[in-house]
Amino acid sequence: MKILSVVGARPQFVKLAAIADAVNGRDDVEHVIVHTGQHYDAMLSDAFFADLKIPQPNYNLAIGSGSHGKQTGAMLAAIEEVLEQEKPDWTLVYGDTNSTLAGTLAAVKIHLPVAHLEAGLRSFNRRMPEEHNRVMTDHAADLLLAPTEVAAKHLADEGLAVRTRVVGDVMTDVCLRVAGAVAGNAPQLPEGISASEDFALATLHRADTTDDPKYLAAVVSALQNLDLPVVLLAHPRLRAKAADAGIALAGGSLHLADPLAYPDLMNGLQHARAVITDSGGLQKEAYLLGAPCTTLRSETEWVETLEDGWNVLVSDPAKIADAVHRPRPEGQRPPYYGDGTAAKQTIETLLAERR
């Protein structure tokens, strides 16, 4: 069986690491990797392949940035050429990015089977480009690989139950493996922050956070005025948006750092007193590793993380401080996201469902 994985962004590289590990050494699976180049910065791309020991892509399309339409269209044309050449048994798409949608459309248009890994997540926020990507992908794909029972219910509600299989969350596989490997290492922190003191890790990148200068300024100000140091892992897009708006990111409690390699990020989560993010994947990683999370959104795809207060949603910058300084949750963290074998279950499902 030939599986062709289409990836392009940091969370997808993490999921890809689990799949690549699951097929390693198997003689019944050929795995072709297509990197669209959606994330092309070395720390957001190359480092993940090296740190997570992912095989180098068979194809790097080097699409780069651009508007949604321009980027998706360029990917669609380039991926179609690869698919015509490779003719995989499954085109495997991951998550909710423009790479996901482009890979799906390219495959279904030429009648090649598509499987969507991390199917069924819903924020129910139609302003999010990711929501459109994931919904359209789910309705076009032939096989929907859901990470949780909640995701499977969403798919059933949309009439897609017959195509749905619950396999668990492949990011859990990688998160737990990597976190165990780096446990006990000193975290990488900017100058002026001590690992012996409480600190928070923060990431900001979604358009709803960054594209309104007034709102972004209010969020940055709230972080700068927290009563504990905050390490802001500043995505290139955030830096550009802040610079365009004349917003100084560093200052007060806020310390800038470049995005961390995945093992270093998992290590940082295990030491952090708090996590502040608008990311999807980081909410879940914080939950898995026991770091209380404040999510700067009004909704989350990972609703299970809200149980017992491990994750709270905050859209008003004036309420960030209270959320971050809330007492540490005492509730349990049930294994909603699987037992670390989701990638193996994914491969077995693809073999069983092969046409």
Give the integer Cα–Cα distance in Å for 98 and 132: 10
CB atoms within 10 A of CB 228: 15
- Match 């999510």 to its residue by tokens: 295
Q: Which two tokens stand for residue 112?
A: 């090649």
Please answer whether residues 71 and 2 qualify as being in contact, where contact means their C-beta atoms are separated by less than 8 angstroms: no
Sequence-distant (≥ 6) Cβ neighbours of residue 27 within 8 angstroms: none
pLDDT given for residue 280 in this prediction: 86
- Give the Cα separation of 233 and 240 in Å (integer): 14
The neighbouring-strand residues paired with 232 are 202, 256
Separation of alpha carbons 274 and 253, rounded Å? 14
Q: Which residues are CB-neighbours of 346 under 8 A, at least 6 positions away?
A: 19, 22, 117, 145, 167, 170
Q: Which CATH class is domain 181-324?
A: alpha beta
H or E, element range at 101: helix 98-109
pTM here?
0.86
Q: What element of type H or E holds 220? A: helix 213-224
Residues contacting residue 202 through CB under 8 Å, at least 6 positions apart: 223, 230, 231, 232, 233, 254, 275, 276, 277
CA 201 to chain centre: 16
Q: Please, what is the angle between helix 10-23 and helix 170-182, to 10°?
A: 90
Write the single-letter amino acid at 153: K
Q: Cα Rg for the chain, rounded, in angstroms? A: 20
Span between the terminal Cα atoms of the chain, in Å: 10
Alpha carbon distance 102, 90 (integer Å): 15
Please list the pLDDT of the chain residue by residue as tens digits (355 residues): 999 999 998 889 989 999 999 999 999 999 999 999 865 554 555 777 888 889 999 999 987 766 778 888 899 999 999 999 999 999 999 999 999 999 999 999 999 999 999 999 999 998 888 999 999 999 999 999 999 999 999 999 999 999 999 999 999 999 999 999 999 899 999 988 988 899 999 999 998 999 999 999 999 999 999 999 999 999 888 999 999 999 999 999 999 999 998 899 999 999 999 999 999 889 999 999 999 999 999 999 999 999 999 999 999 999 999 999 999 998 789 999 988 999 999 999 999 999 7
Residue with token string 């490997």: 181
Is the separation of the CB atoms in 231 and 260 below 8 Å? no
CATH topology of domain 2-169+338-352: Rossmann fold (3.40.50)
Stated length of the chain: 355
Q: Hey, where are the domains in the chain?
A: 2-169+338-352, 181-324
Asked if 342 contacts 169 with a C-beta cutoff of 8 angstroms, the reply is yes
- Among 116, 205, 235, 255, the one annotated catalytic: 205
Active site residue 39: no
Q: How far apart are CA 241 and CA 204, in angstroms?
A: 11
Give me the residues paired with residue 289 across strands.
none
